[in-house]
Structure 1
Amino acid sequence: MIFRLTHSLSLILCLGVSSSTYAATENVWDIVAWDPPFDYQGQMRPLLYQPIEDASKPWHLCVTYPHLKDPYWLSVNYGMVEEVKRLGVNMTVLEAGGYPQLTTQIEQLKHCTDTASDVIIVGTVSFNGLSPSIRKIAQTTPVVAAVNDIENVGISAKAAVSWYTMGQKVGQYLAQRHPVKGANNAKVAWFPGPKESGWVKFIDDGFHDGIAGSGVQIVAVKWGDTGKEIQRNLLQEVLEESIDFDYIVGTALTADAAVSELLSRNLRGKIGIVSTYFTHNVFRGIKRGHILAAPTDSPVLQGRLAVDQAVRILEGKLTEPHLSPRILMIDQHNVGQFNTENSLAPASFWPTFEVISDSP
């Protein structure tokens, strides 16, 4: 079987717009299913999951991401590309350009339907901003939600973790370091991400609950899109106002920017850095001792799961509508033994916007 992979941005321009405990073994993924599906208040059920072996025909998957300027989404992209190639199906990928670009993503959904895609995978920029479009699309085309949380309107399956739990684990990590509330509370500058997105509210709520009752106090909050320059600017604003805090906690782009900002201000080692999710630079930062910790939700595996669910829907074989990798906190104690296969795309991988199968 031969595949042609395209890295061109032409599709976007035309619109204007893990740990070995849960690493994928041969044909089996150690993950969790949700009962009931799409409800993070429900129960997680451990599951040894066997992905579908192949596809009966070269289905066309249309995928839209919030952006590909964050290495996190690059890893999701890699997981999808690898699974699409393995199954022998076709994929077109669009990216909205950032979380403020709701109108662009709505246009991209329309593009997916106009090109007669068999199934649409959505990494949404907004929790409910796409709901009217998805409600209409779902009447003729199945929709799979990937990674970011989304209102349960019109979706047939979801491959995503609880971002509340991601935030909670980060909060609990700090709470364990500072369990006693008192005069010497640990002060945190908190950078949750873009307020309008489909995941930040949940990670913000989880973080607040994770530090509740502990000696951790939030003294500054800055919201903003997950671009490195945007996060760097927000960080510089905070550091210009005060350096009287003990931790910078926020997105992977915040953590990445903080490493160099603290060095340039002679603050490295005086202020700790914690990321709310896991990327290549965060991994390197933890290994080098510049970043304390981050949770991984295995974005590569989430990409694979979304493709698996999409093909299962088309083949009439969907049995688990809502699947998640396990969330694992990575810090300087376990980073040396951590298998990154399900969390990070290889260094050689570039954003891929089209996979075309030459199968009949």
Structure 2
Amino acid sequence: MAQINKDIKSYLSNLNYSEIMSVNSNGAKIKFLSAEEKNGVLDDLLLSIDNGGEENILIKLDGKLSMNDINKIINSTETNINPVTNSRNNTISENTSSYLNGENRNVGEFSGIQVSTGVNLVYKQENPTSVKVIADADKLQYIITKVEGGILKVYVDNKGQKNLKFKNISVNVSSPRMDNIKASSGALFTAISPVQENNLSIDASSGAMVKGMFDVSNNAKIEASSGTSIKVGVNAKNVTVKGSSGSDTNIEGEARSAAFDISSGAVCKGENFSADHVEAESTSGASLSVSASRTLKAKASSGGLIKYRGNPEITADISKMSGGTLKPIN
């Protein structure tokens, strides 16, 4: 039987199967294994059960799992009674390292986040503060998490390593405060629960994405540029939104006053964001939609478009000679 177990390990090694995670349950060791993922999906899965005796069961699973599903499984299983063997200290064979690994990081207190270089960051506002990195086990060293000036900075530092490729980079973060969010270079920031703050600043650039719901007592500032995408719900007293360079902003919620400055082919969908007083400017081929209940001050030029919902008192400066347009939403 020992020879059979060696043969199984050799077989898996030759097929390039890697361990996703393992669970110890009542003396049995259960391993989930997979071949290399394709387009973020694992569709070649194996289940290995070793009861510590003579029996070793190998089952091929029928189905697919996305990388997000894998992260959820790892997170939920680690909080279970049965211990999960962290793949940082476990290998499937002598020649292949684990597929994914979760590593808790000790950092100082922070009230802002700066995430970049394609990192997928999931945030929840709660106590205590925690930072957990989930990534290829042999590449955790390249994912930097450090606090400077009250800002948690999360990014990839290749440390001179050429052609460094990740199958997955996900960072789960929680903290009691979050009033400053900056995402760049293809990073994704997602708040999975409503964030409550006195003031808020969101800045997305260079293809990054920001998603979430935010309840702000005073002022909220949102800025998107260079092909980024922002999809947020915001309730605040005063809101300012600036979009440029092909960015796409979708905002819902309400405020007493709101100011929009959209330019250079950017799009801002704010028809479901209701404000008493709105200032709106659209230039250089940008498209902006707003909702105003009392007053609307609109300025459009150079192919800029402003669409509005409601029946506000309007003060307009529309350059029709340069293609500026102002029109109601029917």
Q: What range describes the TM-score normalised by the shorter chain of this pair? A: under 0.3
Of structures 1 and 2, the larger Rg is shown by 2
Higher strand proportion (structure 1 or 2): 2
Higher helix proportion (structure 1 or 2): 1
TM-score (norm 2): 0.25
TM-score (norm 1): 0.23
